[in-house]
Structure 1
Amino acid sequence: MEKVKKKKVPHTLVILAIIILCAVVLTWIIPAGVYERVENAQGVEVINPDSFKYIDKSPVNPIKIFNISMDGFKKASTLIFVILFSGASFNIITMSGALQSLIGVVSKKTESKEYLFIPILTFIFGLICTTQGVNTFIGFAPVMVMIALAMGFDSIVGASIILLGGAVGFSTGTLNVNTTIVAQEIAGLPPYSGLSYRAVCFVIFYIITNIYLVRYALKIKKNPELSPMYELDKTRKLDSSSHDEFNSSMNLRKWLVITTLFGALGLIVYGGVKLDWKLEQTAVVFIWLGILAGFAAGFNPSQIAKYFVDGAKKMVGAALIIGLARTVSGVLDAGNIMDTSIHSMTSWLNFFPHILKGPVLYIINIIVNMFITSGSGQAAAVMPIFAPLADTIGLTRQTAVLAFNFGDGFCNYILPTSTALMGILGATDIPYDRWMVFMGKLFGIWVIVGSILMVGAQIINLGPM
């Protein structure tokens, strides 16, 4: 059979560079315009929707791109430090093996109880992925598949426990530094504001997703031949010898690490909501989290320093993406076409009934995510436009952040460019087309549920707190 060569998707930085060049070209074509800015009741600068006017063109010189880029990195510097330090501290926690052991223990205790096994495991992965990406657990995916097969399910159930649980945690954006906090900082909102409504979204998506997954699992257990993986699973041989970290038991040190993690997250949320903390204070908490978790795990100072640096290195790509994505809005601002774009989008969105404007923003973010799969990069690229756009179409900026969360997150589990999805499918030998047989209907349900929750956010006028 002739092998079909797959097209390689360009790196996110390349995609952003192309978008920046397109933005420069547009400054020479699109008329320049401005809105008047005023302070709202929360002290946030917002657009006066009735104040738009056209001004003289100010096209951007392509030679100035890197000057604008440096300004973008400067404005995003505090945010970049938060991401570097959060990656560093979570790497120390990962190296301690505490999260892996906790998941392994729960798996063993519930593997003979189908009605508990799936909901409990998806809940744990969901909670963890409120702060981390799903690709953290690519190494655990083969073990999860082995457990699922031993219980009479198929490999899709094993992979789904990680992917779908993680999807709910990541996509509802309750605590995620790389997505929610980036978006809120750009929108001028307090960190972790709107947490209660996003928590409600987490619960709703968690319940609906588990109903879908449990029904599928029980159907496959009763009639294995209905599985898209039926023939492939019959020949499956997975080696668990390289996953001993998930088979190790919890001990005092690991419980201390887990306690330190949840204590730090609780402190960050409390500080952001009650003490008006900014990103600088959040970055400091992540530094302390890394140090305390390292000592709790029994690491010496040199080990803590090594793991801290290694974790920060893993986040350099995200930091570069954020800085470069800020260049897009910088170019639009320099060419005075940002407000013109907002004015045009406002006119287009006003064709829709007000109650549908939130869902439309959600759909737009899904489309954008097909091109910019980095959550932090997408936030830095779209929120400078969507935050003021929300002002002009009568939505709160918190609603715009929620639309970004949903649009950025949920379609990562159908996109063949998603590292988390393709990494776990590759680790478990599940072909993409077989996955989509299972996943297509659920994604449609997610879109409908997300649209309803967007309408709910509009009805309650979801605010900064």
Structure 2
Amino acid sequence: MVKNEENVPQGSKRKKKKLQFPTAFTVLFIILVLAAGLTYLVPAGQYSKMEYVEAENEFVVVNPEGESTSVPATQEALDDLNIKMDLSKFTDGSIKKPIAVPDTYQEIEQNPQGPLDVIMAPVIGVMDTVDIMVFVLILGGIIGMINKSGAFDAGIAALSKKTKGKEFLLVVFVSALIAIGGTTFGLAEETIALYPILMPIFLASGYDAIVAIAAVYLGSSVGTMFSTVNPFSVVIASNAAGISFNEGLTFRLVSLILAMIITLVYIYIYAKKIKADPTKSLVYDDHKRIEERFLKDYNPDQVAPFNWRRVLILLVFLGAFPIMVWGVSTGVWWFPEMSALFLTVVFIIAFVSGFSEKESVNTFVEGAADLVGVALIIGVARSINIVMDNGMISDTLLYYTSSIVKGMSGGLFASVQMILFSILGFFVPSSSGLAVLSMPIMAPLADTVNVSRDIVVSAYNWGQGWMAFITPTGLILATLEMVDVTYDKWLKFVLPLMGIIGVFAMIMLALQTIL
């Protein structure tokens, strides 16, 4: 007997639940468990590490067993250790971190990370990144106060009128400016502050959240990938490779310009498509929720006047950014100083806005609460690296990868190195950390295949930066949480571009070996 569906009670019908991509926290936890699994499979090992002690003017070498020896800081000592670098790189402070000593790798006792280590890692990760988290929470509080004042809405309305019909120029301007910051001083984490400002502007201009992310995140990623004078990557890598960062500089600059043109064309094609037909947006299913979050109080027909209070609030907030750029680019500031700068902005906005003391505090706390998830993701992402470091497998991966490229021809050597550096960049996300760990091992391999060492520096920089487009251990998941977009939507957008940029980088590396 066939059951008549019309007679079935409405409550007994079950709707099929649509499968949803897991949240950023679940993605990170899955990777954390996989990383812990690697500590059981990959042999533990270490290189000896050498550090310059300025007070004693000596080198201290610590072997994998933890035994340390001291030798006078001379060029002869570096030659004896097979470290092909100039003594001045250490004495002038160019290299401050311990570096790996070539030909000293040895396997050590396995230190697998068990369930307790996996549970503890996020806690330690949060503690390790508390300076970044405080910065993010203060930014959240500021955004809450500016939204409450109506300054963002008034500013968006004014900007929309000015850019009508030329909206993509904003994408070009933002991406180019951030790329300049990325290539010169590694502008990355600081860009988190820009999303709450730019998201409403892009949405009001007819674009979606993907375009906003692409303008900021890809500008930063391409800039840092094709670094020219970034002291935290290309400069320290060149020093660790025993060469001047000026070697290969012109080639890196040309590559940066071409890569930015490719990226902007890619974004333009997508932006034009979704502006013509919003249903083509990769986040169309979520656009109502996203607009509710970023444009909940914005009505172009009922915008508060752009009076002196609102103008001053925006000027104070935006004026903090050049000060931040100065502090970071000169090496004087890091997250504690940046947090103090924006906390000062909080006090000024509270005074200028005319809010009562209670209203200011409550608004700040509510704004900070909106970014608690973003702050926690940064800490949990750090836990993955903690597990791998404690499992002693990072040096082992470097040892294996350096063995792969021995004896290869120039063009193939450079391309394979880029791929290997992209893998190492996943496990060692710190650009300076990867540079001092890998360059003393990788750079001399260039001599064996008759190519310049600046090619190894380019391969390191481009490989690590290329992986940053998608690596969950980097900044992307915190960024996506900030704008309420899932990781799968970002992958769908960026993977084709990542493939194009990857091929482009390999072609440029091949050209660099013959020019």
For Structure 1 versus Structure 2, the TM-score category normalised by the shorter chain is 0.5 to 0.7
CA spacing shift, 1:363–1:60, aligned 2, 3 Å = closer
- Compared with structure 1, are the counterparts of its residues 79 and 33 closer, same or farther at alpha carbon in structure 2 (3 Å cutoff)? same
Query: How far does residue 289 in structure 1 lie from its aligned partner after superposition?
Result: 2.1
Out of 13, 24, 28, the position equivalent to 1:12 is 24
Unpaired runs of 5+ in structure 2? 1-14, 52-89, 179-189, 225-229, 240-244, 285-290, 444-453
In structure 1, the residue matched to 2:168 is 118
**1:326 aligns to what SS in structure 2?**
helix
1-structure distance, mates of 2:335, 2:465: 19
Q: Find the aligned partners of 2:253 and 2:467 in 1 and give their Cα distance.
A: 17
> Would the aligned equivalents of 2:111 and 2:392 in 1 still touch at CA under 8 Å?
yes
Cα offsets for 1:268-304 (capped at 9, x unmatched): 2222233622332222112112222333333333233
| Residue 59 of structure 2 corresponds to residue 47 of structure 1 | no
Deviation at 1:309, TM superposition (A): 1.7
1:243 aligns with 2:298: yes
Q: Tell me the secondary structure at the aligned position of residue 106 of structure 1.
A: helix
User: 1:88-99 residue pairs with structure 2 within 5 A?
Assistant: 88-99=141-152
Given residue 27 of structure 1, which amino acid in structure 2 is its aligned partner?
T
Q: State the 1:391 CA deviation.
A: 5.5
The 1-side partners of 2:197 and 2:220 are apart by 12
Q: How many pairs align? A: 402
Mapped pair 1:26 → 2:7: no
Whether 1:393 and 2:393 are equivalent positions in the alignment is no
Choose the corresponding residue for 1:56, options 109, 120, 124. 109
Alignment of 1:347-362 (within 5 A): 347-348=403-404, 353=412, 355-356=414-415, 359-360=418-419
Q: Secondary structure at the match of 2:366?
A: helix
Matches within 5 A, 1:398-409: 407-409=467-469
Alignment match of 2:319 (pick from 241, 263, 269): 263
The alpha-carbon distance between structure 1 residues 257 and 398, as it changes in their structure 2 partners (threshold 3 A), is farther
Asked if structure 1 preserves the Cα contact closer than 8 Å seen for 2:140 and 2:368, the reply is yes
Percent identity of the aligned residues?
A: 23
Matched, 1:38 2:50: yes
Q: Which residue of 1 aligns with 2:205?
A: 144
Q: AA paired with 2:173?
A: F
* C-alpha deviation, 1:169, in angstroms: 4.1
Structure 1 residues 43 and 282 mapped into 2: Cα distance closer, same or farther (>3 Å)? same
Give the superposition deviation at 1:384: 6.5
**Is contact 1:35–1:49 with CA below 8 Å preserved after alignment?**
yes
Distance in 2 separating the partners of 1:200 and 1:297: 46
Superposed, which structure 2 residues align to 1:273-292 within 5 Å? 273-274=329-330, 276-292=332-348
Residues 82-231 of structure 1: matches in 2 within 5 Å?
A: 82-112=135-165, 116-120=166-170, 122-123=172-173, 130-132=191-193, 134=195, 143-145=204-206, 162=212, 164-172=214-222, 208=262
Equivalent residues in 2 for 1:247-396, closer than 5 Å: 247-274=303-330, 276-348=332-404, 353=412, 355-356=414-415, 359-360=418-419, 364=423, 388-389=437-438, 392-394=441-443
Aligned-residue CA RMSD in angstroms? 5.4
Alpha-carbon spacing, 1:357–1:56, altered in 2? closer, same or farther (3 Å): same
Please, which runs of 5 or more residues in structure 1 have no aligned partner? 146-156, 175-179, 369-377, 426-431, 460-465
CA pair 88-23 structure 1, distance change in 2 beyond 3 A = same
The 5 Å alignment of 1:450-461 reads none
Classify the secondary structure of the residue corresponding to 2:306.
Answer: coil
Following the alignment from structure 2 to structure 1, what is the Cα–Cα distance between the partners of residues 401 and 496?
30
**Aligned in 2, Cα 1:440/1:133: closer, same or farther, shift over 3 Å?**
same
CA–CA distance in structure 1, aligned partners of residues 482 and 167 of structure 2: 22
Residues 101 and 342 (structure 1 numbering): CA distance in 2 closer, same or farther, change over 3 Å?
farther
Offset, 1:318: 2.9
Q: Distance in 1 between matches of 2:18 and 2:371?
A: 28
Q: Deviations over 1:336-360 (max 9, x none)?
A: 2232123223334666745436753
Shift in Å, 1:454: 8.6
